[in-house]
Structure 1
Amino acid sequence: MDDAHYHEIQQWLLKSQRDLEAAKVLFEHGLFDVVVYHCQQSAEKALKAYLVYQEVILQKTHNLVVLLESCLAFDINFEILRDSAEILTPYATEFRYPGDTIEPEKYEAEEALAIASLVLDFVVKLLPNS
């Protein structure tokens, strides 16, 4: 892997980590709608880091299940993240705008934090020198 490729992967991981850290801070302030959004973003960027590692041209999607399907082409162990992807995917848009959507509860934000952390840790363990 050349330096530019390694740097790009690291940038995706850094953005993933920052989204997760932001979500943790926002959780302490009870901003659960923003917490779940940043958790989805963290998981999305972690999966995209893996796809960059595999030299896949990234799709412009926030759908974690779609990204997971791409990851599965390289490693079937990603299957264990399917439920996680299905839970987090709606958070990319569901609570972003005013409307009829009920705000997420604290337990949903806690679950989203745990899932985002799981996804990031899973990806990091698969990448060299992370």
Structure 2
Amino acid sequence: MLSEGMTTRVQAWLRQANSDLAVGQLTEAKGFHSQACYHYSQAAEKALKGALISLGVLPPYSHSLDRLINALEQQGVNSNALKELHVKSLSRMSSETRYPQDDEAPVDRFDAKDSGQARTIAESILIFVKSILKPEDNV
């Protein structure tokens, strides 16, 4: 069982994941799709890291959602529900949404379809993480 301090830490990661999800929704609604995609990727990453912390594992320093999911599997978590999601595309959004490539700005590369797909993946990951947490870890 986790200490009270560890439970508080898990809750902090989940609060931030929920905040990033909300910021993604706000920016998506205003048409800032590259920023929405970035915040959705952050929401998913922080939720997965919170899940690892809830298992007593220090999460790897990585933006790779696949790597975080693999770390959960190594702890015995059945992550089949996440396998059908296109998490690689969401992982790439962590950097591709922030930096221009050649003469193309992220704001020109990401559209409503991208942010909608990113939102769906992030929401699915948050639902999954909340389903595997103990009640005292959920926020």
Same fold (TM > 0.5): yes
Count, aligned residues: 130
- Normalising by structure 2, we get a TM-score of 0.87
1:103 has 2:104 as partner:
no
RMSD of aligned alpha carbons? 1.4
User: Aligned-pair distance for 1:76?
Assistant: 4.6
Q: Counterpart of 1:5 in structure 2: which amino acid?
A: M
Runs (5+) with no aligned partner, structure 1: none
Partner of residue 127, structure 1:
133
- Normalising by structure 1, we get a TM-score of 0.93
SS at match of 2:61: coil
Cα distance change on mapping 1:77 and 1:2 into 2, 3 Å: same
**1:16/1:42 contact within 8 Å kept:** yes
For residues 43-85 of structure 1, what are the alpha-carbon distances to aligned partners after superposition, in whole Å with 9 as ceiling and x for unaligned? 0000001100111122111111111110111245313313332
CA distance in 2, matches of 1:98, 1:61: 21
User: Aligned-pair distance for 1:16?
Assistant: 0.2
Runs (5+) with no aligned partner, structure 2: none
CA distance in 2, matches of 1:28, 1:105: 12
How many percent identity over aligned positions?
27
Greater shift, 32-41 or 84-93, is seen at: 84-93
1:44 has 2:45 as partner:
yes
